[in-house]
A and B are shown apart, each in its own frame.
Chain A
Amino acid sequence: MGIYIKLGSPLRVPSSDRALARLHYCYTAIKYFQQPSFFLPQNVQIWRKAPSETLGGTKVDEMPLSDVSYTFALLRKRFSKSYFSEELFSSIVVFNGVWNVDNTKLAGFISCNNNSVWKQAYHDIEIDAYGRGNIEDLMDVFLTNDEFVNIVQSFIGDISHAEVGQPMNPAIVYFSIGAPEFGEVEDLIAIHLRDWREMVKFLYAKLRRSKAPWIKEKVVPIDRGFYVSSLTEQEITESIFKQVREEAEIVEKIGNSITYIGKGKDSFKDFYGRFEERIFKPASQELPKGDALKKIMKKGLEGTSSLG
């Protein structure tokens, strides 16, 4: 499955602490998937720029991974010492191993993306498998597992508990086929974020990408924060959100934050379509167009000059 973790913090965190936080959550993920023997880590590689030569990367180091705790202690030491070094800012630490879910074996990896370009595409931590035969990625294996919802929930539980004492916490966790992006519902299977308002922001990001005239004319000219908060502060939005979510067969799991889990590969696409029809469209119907706003502003300015 692709699991992608995006870390966040309300405070400014030094790069060395960010790299250490990524390692910490990587360690938590490996420990979680090691327990039911889903993932057997075999070695760790440190790459500069990208995790393969064809992608323009250079392998800096490689070591076997027999004792996970010991290897992580070594890596922590290494990253603590290399503050401001190139390795810290451009590295991708890849824990290679074998996934074994329901007797399906696949090569895979859990990686810490310290390289900023790589992080933009694949987030702070990427967990996935290399496709083989009819299996495209890890998501195909997990989706057929009856325990999928429980796996998502317990994984989120472990990752959330790992926040204690950390300068960064998992802001968003995506379960997706392929690299996810905020506002991209295609191939999204599950998502973990702060609360339902954050999910509305996510759907709004999708709306903004649309080229439909009513969105360009009426939604885009309005400040994002103002538009979203004006919607989420209405009680009716929350009840329609719940209704639409249930219609799209998306399960909600509430802990300290919220996880939404789709029943199928198209659940989130369906959710967005319904939300757009029932919330975004009617709420934007009576909004003035951007041109009309400009005219009002122009009129106001002309009034000022005539006063002068």
Chain B
Amino acid sequence: MPIRIPIINGQKSDIQYNLDDENDLKKLKLNPTDDGKISDRYVHYQNCKHAVIESKGTTVHKAIEQIESTVKHLLSTGNKVDFTILIMKRLSHSEQRSFKRRKDRVLIDPQTREPYSVRVGNEKRTIFLLYTSEANITCDGMDKYLSPKNIALGGV
């Protein structure tokens, strides 16, 4: 099944890397045998923002571990990552105690209300959660959260 890349504030991605493709990994200077935890896509949006996308997560913790590992590898090889997107069929009942999606689609810890984010040094990369059932996966709602300091997609 092809992976649907989210359209954010009307912006489509113009460059996509398939992280399951060895040639694409080479272009990004990534080693396919690093630790095997790798996300599905690395994309570039028209406004020069880069995102890591994990689109087939079956459990949240596995998907997040894959996103974290991919972000760290990409940054260590000189690539840019502005934010990350996790696309899931649904959140299982049992996982809803540890994970919740905020109105702006940011993945948070329901106990502390703190967003989950991939931290490298002092910088944080937000994790957005989208459901496959959401038509076209158009993320217009994200702009409320995307301050210029963070991602600023679509010109906030």
| Residues on A facing B (Cβ under 8 Å) | 2, 50-56, 96, 98, 105-108, 117-118, 120-122, 128, 130-134, 136-137, 177-181, 184, 187
- Which of B37-86 touch A at CB < 8 Å? 37-38, 56-59, 61-62, 64-68
Given contacts A130-B36, A132-B20, whether A179 and B94 have CB atoms under 8 Å apart is yes
Bound form: Cα–Cα A122–B98 in Å? 11
Cα(A13)–Cα(B35), bound, Å: 37
Most buried by B among A132, A134, A180: A132
Given contacts A54-B68, A54-B119, contact A132 B36 (CB under 8 A): yes
CA distance A130 to B92 in the complex (A): 17
A180 to B109, CA, bound (A): 20
Contact of B97 among A117, A130, A132, A177 (CB under 8 A): A117
Which residues of B sit under 8 angstroms from A136, Cβ to Cβ? 56, 58
- Roughly how many angstroms separate A108 CA and B127 CA in the complex, as a whole number? 22
B interface residues (Cβ-Cβ under 8 A, vs A): 1, 20, 35-38, 56-59, 61-62, 64-68, 89, 92-95, 97-98, 109, 116-119, 127
Given contacts A54-B67, A107-B37, contact A137 B62 (CB under 8 A): yes
Residues on A with beta carbons closer than 8 Å to the beta carbon of B66 = 130-131
B147 to chain A, nearest CB (A): 21
Distance A108 CA – B62 CA, assembled complex (angstroms): 10
Q: Is A120 a contact of B94 with CB atoms below 8 Å?
A: yes
Please state if A107 and B36 are interface contacts (CB–CB under 8 Å).
yes
Residues of A within 8 A of B58 (CB): 2, 131, 136-137, 177-178, 187
- Verify A121–B94 contact, CB threshold 8 A: yes
Contact in complex: A2, B59 (CB < 8 Å): yes
User: What is the minimal beta-carbon distance from B22 to any residue of chain A, in angstroms?
Assistant: 11
Task: Assess the B36–A98 pair: CB atoms within 8 A.
Answer: yes
